[in-house]
Amino acid sequence: MLSDKNLRKSFERVKKDIIGLQNRILDSEKRYEDLWNIISSLMEKDIELSKDLEQTAAIASEKPKAPKSKKVTYVASKTAKKFHLLDCPFAKQILPNKKITFKSKDSAMNKGLKPCDCVKKY
């Protein structure tokens, strides 16, 4: 049978092991709480980002408002094969005495001219 001295040592080791396990449990609980706080924070940020994304998608899906009807003037050179908007860099190079103006795209196209890229974008 175990002597009293050996029995005490066994109980002291068991007590030490139990205290060690209690400390590990407390550490685990603290880490669990920290992780839970991080997860909660990330969930809140996710909700905010989802709302922002929905708002951005709603804005992006809105159709652009048609510009107010304004008179557009097209120009071409008397010798050119294309017509341009007034603010096109090519239109700005046309000499005044060689410049032809059109009130509509159709009238320019009826003269056999093709639209410049600046007209296609507009």
Give me the pLDDT at residue 79, please: 92
Give me the pLDDT at residue 2, please: 65
Low-confidence ranges of the chain (pLDDT < 70): 1-2, 60, 62-70, 122
Give me the pLDDT at residue 122, please: 63
pTM: predicted TM-score of the whole model, two decimal places: 0.43
Residues paired with 48 in a beta bridge = none
Give me the pLDDT at residue 66, please: 42
Q: Which two tokens stand for residue 54?
A: 């929905």
Give me the pLDDT at residue 22, please: 96
The rounded percent of the chain whose pLDDT value lies above 90 is 67
